[in-house]
Amino acid sequence: MQKIIAEHLEASIAAKRRVITELLPTIESAGRILVDAVLKGKKVLFFGNGGSASDAQHLAAEFVGRYETERRALPAIALTTDTSILTAVANDYSFDKIFARQVEALGQAGDVAVGISTSGNSKNVNLAIQAAKARGMKTIGLAGRNGGELGKLADIAIVIPVERTAHIQECHIAIGHALCRLIDEAISAAG
């Protein structure tokens, strides 16, 4: 058992090392978009499926509550949480539109849409990114493997270059926390 545990943790560490050596400029670019939006009072919409839905909710909570520093609440919404909207849109339109309809309803120019998909090929995430761009929003994609369609659609695509979904998700939340720290630092510096 310990060998399996150690192998899993070593692979996760290796994935994070690749993030550090290959993706820091891209993550910094995403951080600049988020910091700029937050300092201007804009909101962030997070969305994804399955484990990525949980990450969307987790990151929205870090914005509205706090990450590590006491600061004002920041406007962020996880589009994964309202079961009435999700089921109504899925039933009346299609599951592919569950996030795009919410982006159309809630997103405004200058806001940021953060789509999370380990494969980059979740149709509902990609349609929401397209809807966000049509509304003048900035878009950030968190993907994995080769980035899929999300890697091509998002203004900034942070693509974890590994195959295992678990390690992609572990990197996504670590990057999400790093972005939260950038925001905390920027708010503190702005006074």
- Number of domains present in the structure of the chain: 1
Give whole-number Cα distances, 160 to 27, 34, 105, 164, 165, in Å: 11, 19, 30, 10, 10
Number of alpha carbons in the 13 Å side-chain half-sphere of residue 26 = 21
The answer to pTM > 0.85 is yes
Alpha-carbon distance of 191 to 189, in angstroms, equals 5
Range of the domain at 111: 2-190
Q: Which amino acid is at 182?
A: L
Q: Which amino acid is at 58?
A: H
Each residue's pLDDT expressed in tens, for the chain with a length of 191 residues:
999 999 999 999 999 999 999 999 999 999 999 999 999 999 999 999 999 999 999 999 999 999 999 999 999 999 999 999 999 999 999 999 999 999 999 999 999 999 999 999 999 999 999 999 999 999 999 999 999 999 999 999 999 999 999 999 999 999 999 999 999 999 999 87
